Amino acid sequence: MSVTLDIRLKRANKVYLEGETVAGVILLVCKEALQHHGISLSMEGVVNLQLSSKSVGVFEAFYNSVKPIQLISSNIEVAKAGKIPGGKTEIPFEFPLHTKGNKVLYETYHGVFVNIQYTLRCDMKRSLLAKDLSRSCEFIVHCQPQKSKVIPTPVNFTITPDTLQSREKNSLPKFLIRGHLDATNCVISLPLTGEVVVENSDVPIKSIELQLVRVETCGCAEGYARDATEIQNIQIAEGDVCHSLAIPIYMIFPRLFTCPTLETTNFKVVCGLGTAASN
Amino acid sequence: MAAVQWRSHGRNYDTELQRCRLEAALVDFGDYHPLKPIMVTDTKTRRGTRKGSTSSSSSSSSSAPPDPLSSMLDGTDPLSMFAAASASETPPMSHSSSTGDLGRRKREKEEEAVGPDFEPWSLKRGEILARFTTTEKLSINLFIGSDRGKATSQGSAVSEKVRTRLEELDDLEEGSQRELLNLSQQDYANRIEELNQSLKEAWSSDQKVKALKIVIQCSKLLSDNSVIQFYPSKFVLITDILDTFGRLVYDRIWTMCSDPRPLPDNFTVEDVNDTAKETCLNWFYKIASIRELLPRLYVEAAILKCNRFLNKSGIQETLPRLTAMVRGIGDPLVAAYARAYLCRVGMEVAPHLKDSLNRNFFDLLGTFRQISSENVRAQLVLQRVEMPEYLTLYSPAISWILQCIAYRAPESLLTEMMERCKKLGNNALLLNSVMRAFRPEFVAARATDFIGMIKDCDEAGFPKHLLFGSLGRSLASADPPESERLTILNEAWKVITKVRSPQDYINCAEIWVEFTCRHFTKREVNTILADIIKHMTPDRAFEDAYPQLQSVIRKILTYFHDFSVLFSMERFLPFLDMFQKDSVRVEVCKSIMEVFIKHQVELTRDPVILNAMLHICKTMHDSVNALTLEDEKRSLALLIIGFIRMVSFGRDFEQQLSFCVEARATFCNLEPVLVQLIHTVNQLAMETRRVMRGNHSRKTAAFVRACAAYSFITIPSLSSIFSRLSLYLLSGQVALANQCLSQADAFLKAAVSILPEVPRSISVEGKLRSSESFLVDFINSFLATLLVIPDHPEHGVLYLVRGLLNMVQDYTWEDNSDAKVRVYISALPLLAAMSQETYLYSIPKVDSNDTLYGGDPKFLSEINKLCETLIGQILDHLKTLGRDEQSTRRQGALAFSLFGVLLAHGDLRNNKLSQLAVNLWNLSHKHGCCETRTSVRTLEFIKHQTQQPDMTHLSDMVQRLTLQSRT
């Protein structure tokens, strides 16, 4: 006898803001009537921290993972023990996204050392002979958009051999790259924009790439562990581009892997940008 | 059975004719016509129209008989009424806010839609593929999508799924590549087509990630220009895949939102449901995270249309962004093609967004100096490609961009574009594209300017002959100002004639021939032909340029329909001599002949035309050999016949005959032509007779005899027996009409003598068919001619008739066939007609047997004897048929037809004959296989006949003819 259990959220994009209500249905499809010992649904929001093997030892990194921090948790009983008729059964549910106490609902984020994840989990208990069924489904939490309008502060930059922190400064060929970013504080839902101009370069350029980097900091027993990892790297110029012609910088932030800069007592995520031009 | 005594029934043809005529009844046509509607005509108004009063329109409408069909339908017809009603009604649309808005939108759409005058990409596609080829070995850098297991890993959380997918994307970007080396161009195209197929397969089996991978990999190939000559073709092949992908994604999202009912064509964002939007957005996010620039650019462009699902201004915002993104591409060729792709997608999805097209072009101009950068030069040296060749690689892309811009663009914009191009150095490439892409009228009006610019171009860069080629192409379809035409031609030709390479020369010259033919006379065309000959003859260069040379001929033929002018060009025939490959030569000749047949309306005797055409026809004829297909022969023969029919020397018959003699010698291998020649000569003889009004002088008599001789010696060379037979008969008739008795005799004798050669089956349209019916038909018409042929004084009475009948008897007819007896039966009416005092028809100035014998009893008895023999034979045959059960139907039919002949032609006053007739009647009705209706009508006819004064004897017979009851 087959039965399938599924959770369907009302919103196709599964994105919810704090204070909103997560609504959906539990979908049960079975051919015949089904006996069960109760269906329950739980919602959970957890921050998982993982120590980097670079800052602490390998074994410590493996064993000493920091205890997860629970952000939100609630449980409801969807159905008491009983019978479900055969066919398709939809049981609607709603969870308000409210925190208890002074906890903050952070945005969903999947990083290397920091993971913030929200899940819905549905369990169906059954008799001894049949296995219990369970199904989980992730949903995404975004912060309330900022009320005050951010005034973009454009920034200009210039790259020459002298500005690089490199040991072989003298061996580098001469070049001058100028450019600007339209804002240093970006709205995460909007793309990062700007321009880069190759004013001159002694050797032909092979590629110009844009690197999005995050810095995750985890607090643990021995102090803080800080790690920078690349999120995304996209090429904005390929080959020897025309000199003194503005090349656009444009990057859409990968939503799951970036989050607004976040600082808490226990962990911290900062996103930064690097430009790499290879010759 | 005792021999039957035959007596022919005497006939008075004149009175019979009188009797048969219908009584003429006078019909007053003015009053009555069956198709005219019954109506009362108002005579007063009619008179009014005659006066020519001002109210003519109203009065004429009242007096004109209305068309009965249109008067049935009062006013407009119902179909167009419905159409009009539905057109005025606005179609019900749920989402449109107001009808006014809809109307406006509709109008806008009409304005922005790309009309049929926009040359679509699909046309360019093939051209590019054919033009940019290479013999170098190519390579493809690809992953082979076999690792399917990963793609379908069933992660429960979305994040996992996404992660695996992204990992796969990375995976394929870094590792798992396979390089295919040493592919020939064809292999390469096949590989790409395979990828296209596997893309579709992956898509249909729901492996969207794999599909995306394939597309990314493919578009990555576009950044590799290692075999640079092939790049344009590669672009075409790969953008095909991108197009497929774009369509697949769009269709999928489309079907996602067409759940309750399909989306209307002009849907808005509000019509799209959330799931579809989310899927669409996911595609865009996925693409935005592609690492490399080129795939990200191309794939996003490919699904540009999907922006319609997300927001109104999506396309409008994306296009400029993508346009700016192209700036990041360093290689100028790759960038140019990326721009071309953007323009193409832009034109397809949002043709009204002209700005991004222009931006593209201006960016292109901005980076134009890249073309001559060190980098590019180094690469060219490495690949051993010359600069001029390299520059031509750009032309499809730039031409396409310019074409998109120029499409329905205002004159001012075009002028601005041109000015911008002018300012840049080394602008020949741009100039070329401008001339190709802008409206021919625009180019033609400034032709002199363009020539100036072309002259200023750098010699080392873009080849000038290509520039002139492009200019010529524009001038071929639009006319420059009249006063400048000659200068233009002179200037252009000055450059063209200096082109060294014969191939380049002819490519360019071919284009300019059209312009020359359009605006100038044969003198200029002749000069150009002379120049072409001069260039193409050394080293037999023409051998590689047949298509172009053929096109020259075609162009000349479209403008010069007067063949006397055409052939008076001194260089035309020498030009034709350049076609030395047989197949091409014949093809050219055929095209000339086709034009000749189509446009030569008047008969001609112009020696120039005749000589040239004979030469051309001879070429066609000489191409025929044992291997030539029947169809080919037939079409050649038709063309030559068409020519022969156009030749006429007017009253100079002798020359015409000698022309035919010459033609016969020339075209001896094509039978249809010979047949036509014989017909022509026969016609000539008849024409002579008409001119002489039937009285030949000594000279004309000799001439018609010569004609007969011509036919007589030509006919035996034909292989088809039936054309021989019918031509003998026809020529015999013509000879007779021209009082050439002995010739006529000879023709007919020849016809009789070849009768035994007729095979029992002949091939008709490739199928073997029995020749019997053809033969019987021929003999019947032959018999009809025999009536007027006078007997030869040295041979016996009815020499030819006997000869024919003997042949018929000896001929090996098919088994179980009545054909022989049928011939006998049809010979009886001839014999009966011969025994009349005056014959039914005769030929003026020819004494037939009626005059020769004057009803001599000996002659008559000879005829009767012959008839009796025939009837004896027929009756014998009937008897043999009677023995067999199965052939009773045939017996009946034969008996009945003999009865008919007896009734019409036999003298039934003779008891024996009438008895025979009655017996035959009974025989034919014996087995009940006679059609009752025919029998009844025959009886009625006989009864009708009895009322004639000299036919009363028939009444006895009628009594004895009984109808068989239907049992």
Tell which residue, B291, B321, B290, B289, has the closest CA to residue B304. Answer: B321
Place of tokens 């051993």: B384
A241–B327 CB contact, under 8 Å: yes
Judge whether B933 and B894 are in contact, CB under 8 Å.
no
What pLDDT is stored for residue B92 in this prediction? 42
Place of tokens 């172009």: B548
B159–A239 CB contact, under 8 Å: no
Chain B residues with CB inside 8 Å of A239's CB? 223, 329-331, 334, 375
Tell me the two tokens of residue A216: 């995750």
Q: Beta A133-142 vs A114-124: how paired, if at all?
A: antiparallel
Chain A residues with CB inside 8 Å of B378's CB? none
Chain A residues with CB inside 8 Å of B292's CB? 235, 238
For B316-374, the pLDDT digits (tens) are 888 888 888 888 888 888 888 999 998 888 888 887 777 888 888 888 887 877 777 77
Alpha-carbon gap, residue A65 to B450, rounded angstroms = 77
* Residue of chain B whose alpha carbon sits nearest to that of A204: B375
Nearest by CB: B292 against A205, A235, A247: A235
Chain A residues with CB inside 8 Å of B273's CB? 12
Average pLDDT over residues B715-726: 92
Tell me the two tokens of residue B398: 């730039």
A110–B163 CB contact, under 8 Å: yes
Alpha-carbon gap, residue B726 to B459, rounded angstroms = 71
B169 has a chain A CB within 8 A of its CB: no
What pLDDT is stored for residue B41 in this prediction? 47
What pLDDT is stored for residue B150 in this prediction? 37
Stated as kind and residue range, the H or E segment containing A79 is strand A69-79
What pLDDT is stored for residue B732 in this prediction? 94
Give, in degrees to the nearest 5, the angle at Cα B13 between B7 and B16: 105
Average pLDDT over residues B55-62: 39
Helix axis angle, B799-810 to B772-786, nearest 10°: 170
Average pLDDT over residues B87-97: 42
Sign of the CA dihedral with B478 first, then B480, B482, and B488 last: negative
For B458-491, the pLDDT digits (tens) are 766 677 888 888 888 888 888 888 888 888 888 8
Judge whether B132 and B233 are in contact, CB under 8 Å.
yes
Judge whether A166 and A42 are in contact, CB under 8 Å.
no
Chain B residues with CB inside 8 Å of A254's CB? 285, 289
Nearest by CB: B327 against A13, A232, A245: A245
B288–A251 CB contact, under 8 Å: yes
B747 band by pLDDT with thresholds 50, 70 and 90:
very high
Tell me the two tokens of residue B264: 């209307």
Tell me the two tokens of residue B2: 């005792």
What pLDDT is stored for residue B479 in this prediction? 84
Nearest-Cα distance to chain B for A242, in Å, is: 6
Chain A residues with CB inside 8 Å of B294's CB? 238
**pLDDT exceeds cutoff 70 at B148:** no
Max mean pLDDT range (A154-163, B44-53, B132-141, B807-816): B807-816
Tell me the two tokens of residue A2: 């087959």
Place of tokens 């000996």: B858
Enumerate residues 6+ apart whose C-beta is below 8 A from B230.
Answer: B132, B133, B134, B136, B138, B185, B188
Nearest by CB: B288 against A237, A252, A256: A252
Tell which residue, B480, B573, B487, B591, has the closest CA to residue B530. Answer: B573
A238–B288 CB contact, under 8 Å: no
Portion of chain B with pLDDT greater than 70, in percent: 83
What pLDDT is stored for residue B144 in this prediction? 42
* Residue of chain B whose alpha carbon sits nearest to that of A191: B288
Judge whether B883 and B876 are in contact, CB under 8 Å.
no
Chain A residues with CB inside 8 Å of B373's CB? 240
Residue A209: helix, strand or coil by DSSP? strand
What Å distances lie between residue B417 and B319, B402, B414, B433, CA to CA?
21, 9, 5, 11
Spans of chain A, pLDDT less than 70: 1, 51-66, 145-150, 165-170, 218-225, 258-279
Alpha-carbon gap, residue A177 to A243, rounded angstroms = 10
Chain A residues with CB inside 8 Å of B375's CB? 204, 239-240
Q: Beta A87-96 vs A109-110: how paired, if at all?
A: unpaired
Give, in degrees to the nearest 5, the angle at Cα B75 between B72 and B77: 75
Stated as kind and residue range, the H or E segment containing A43 is strand A39-49
The CA-based dihedral angle spanning residues A168, A173, A177, A183, taken in that order and rounded to the nearest 10 degrees = -20
Judge whether B792 and B745 are in contact, CB under 8 Å.
yes
For an interface test with A, the pick among B158, B160, B228 (most A C-beta atoms closer than 10 Å) comes out as: B158
Alpha-carbon gap, residue B964 to B927, rounded angstroms = 10
**pLDDT exceeds cutoff 70 at B97:** no
Alpha-carbon gap, residue B737 to B841, rounded angstroms = 13
Judge whether B607 and B568 are in contact, CB under 8 Å.
no
For B220-279, the pLDDT digits (tens) are 888 887 778 888 888 888 888 888 899 888 888 888 877 667 777 777 777 778 888 888
Alpha-carbon gap, residue A228 to B157, rounded angstroms = 26
Helix/strand number for chain A, H first, E second: 1, 19
Average pLDDT over residues B286-295: 88
For B927-939, the pLDDT digits (tens) are 776 778 888 888 8
What pLDDT is stored for residue A4 in this prediction? 83
* Residue of chain A whose alpha carbon sits nearest to that of B282: A13
Residue B760 burial (CB < 10 Å; 0-12/13-18/19+)? middle
What pLDDT is stored for residue B172 in this prediction? 46
Mean pLDDT rounded to a whole number for chain B = 80
Enumerate residues 6+ apart whose C-beta is below 8 A from B331.
Answer: A238, A239, A240, B223, B225, B376
* Residue of chain A whose alpha carbon sits nearest to that of B295: A235
- Please give the DSSP secondary-structure letter assigned to residue B953: T
Residues B166-172: contacts with CB within 8 Å, 24+ apart?
Answer: B166/B289, B168/B209, B168/B213, B169/B209, B169/B212, B169/B213, B169/B216, B169/B286, B169/B289, B169/B290, B172/B143, B172/B213, B172/B216, B172/B217
B174 band by pLDDT with thresholds 50, 70 and 90:
very low
What pLDDT is stored for residue B432 in this prediction? 80
Tell me the two tokens of residue B189: 């195209």
Nearest by CB: B330 against A232, A233, A241: A241
Tell me the two tokens of residue B149: 């297991």
Tell which residue, B202, B429, B239, B246, has the closest CA to residue B339. Answer: B239
Chain A residues with CB inside 8 Å of B281's CB? 13
Judge whether A214 and A269 are in contact, CB under 8 Å.
yes
Chain A residues with CB inside 8 Å of B296's CB? 234-235
What pLDDT is stored for residue B63 in this prediction? 43
Judge whether A101 and A26 are in contact, CB under 8 Å.
no
Alpha-carbon gap, residue B474 to B511, rounded angstroms = 10
B156 has a chain A CB within 8 A of its CB: yes
B156–A254 CB contact, under 8 Å: no
Domains in chain A with CATH codes? 3-142 (2.60.40.640), 155-278 (2.60.40.640)
Nearest-Cα distance to chain B for A78, in Å, is: 21
Binding-site residues on chain A for chain B (CB distance < 8 A): 11-14, 110, 117, 119, 135-138, 204-205, 208, 232-242, 245-248, 250-252, 254-256
Q: Which of these ranges, B203-212, B232-241, B266-275, B706-715, has the smallest mean pLDDT? A: B266-275
Chain B residues with CB inside 8 Å of A256's CB? 159, 162
Tell which residue, B859, B869, B941, B933, has the closest CA to residue B900. Answer: B941
What pLDDT is stored for residue A118 in this prediction? 87
**pLDDT exceeds cutoff 70 at B94:** no
Nearest by CB: B324 against A117, A208, A248: A248
Amino acid occupying residue B334: V
DSSP string, B464-492: HHHHHHHHHHHHHHSPPPGGGHHHHHHHH
What pLDDT is stored for residue A262 in this prediction? 60
Place of tokens 């190939």: B221
Stated as kind and residue range, the H or E segment containing A177 is strand A175-181
What pLDDT is stored for residue A58 in this prediction? 54
Tell which residue, B643, B642, B624, B641, has the closest CA to residue B632. Answer: B624
Nearest by CB: A136 against B156, B223, B292: B156
B158–A138 CB contact, under 8 Å: yes
Chain A residues with CB inside 8 Å of B156's CB? 135-137
Nearest-Cα distance to chain B for A139, in Å, is: 9
Alpha-carbon gap, residue B595 to B583, rounded angstroms = 19
Nearest-Cα distance to chain A for B438, in Å, is: 28
Alpha-carbon gap, residue B442 to B479, rounded angstroms = 10
* Residue of chain A whose alpha carbon sits nearest to that of B158: A138
For B618-665, the pLDDT digits (tens) are 989 988 888 888 889 999 999 999 999 999 998 889 999 999 999 999
B88 band by pLDDT with thresholds 50, 70 and 90:
very low
A251–B369 CB contact, under 8 Å: no
Alpha-carbon gap, residue B388 to B462, rounded angstroms = 5
Strand partners, A123: A40, A134
A/B interface, count of CB pairs below 8 Å: 102
Place of tokens 């260069």: B541
Alpha-carbon gap, residue B191 to B185, rounded angstroms = 10
Helix axis angle, B819-834 to B799-810, nearest 10°: 170
Alpha-carbon gap, residue B211 to B200, rounded angstroms = 8
A205–B285 CB contact, under 8 Å: no
Chain B residues with CB inside 8 Å of A242's CB? 327, 330, 366-367, 369-370
For B850-898, the pLDDT digits (tens) are 888 888 888 989 899 999 999 999 999 988 888 887 888 888 888 889 9
Tell me the two tokens of residue B10: 């005497």
DSSP string, B761-813: EEEETTEEEESHHHHHHHHHHHHHHHTTPPPPTTS-TTHHHHHHHHHHHHS-P
Judge whether A134 and A126 are in contact, CB under 8 Å.
no
B733 band by pLDDT with thresholds 50, 70 and 90:
very high
B223–A238 CB contact, under 8 Å: yes
Residue B655: helix, strand or coil by DSSP? helix
B154 has a chain A CB within 8 A of its CB: no
Tell me the two tokens of residue B151: 């793609």
Nearest by CB: B328 against A233, A238, A255: A238
What pLDDT is stored for residue B141 in this prediction? 60
DSSP H stretches of helix in B647-762: 653-666, 671-691, 698-714, 721-737, 741-754
Alpha-carbon gap, residue A68 to A218, rounded angstroms = 12
Enumerate residues 6+ apart whose C-beta is below 8 A from B528.
Answer: B493, B509, B512, B513, B516
User: The pTM is what?
Assistant: 0.64
Alpha-carbon gap, residue B779 to B776, rounded angstroms = 5
Nearest-Cα distance to chain A for B417, in Å, is: 21
Average pLDDT over residues B937-964: 82
B321 has a chain A CB within 8 A of its CB: yes
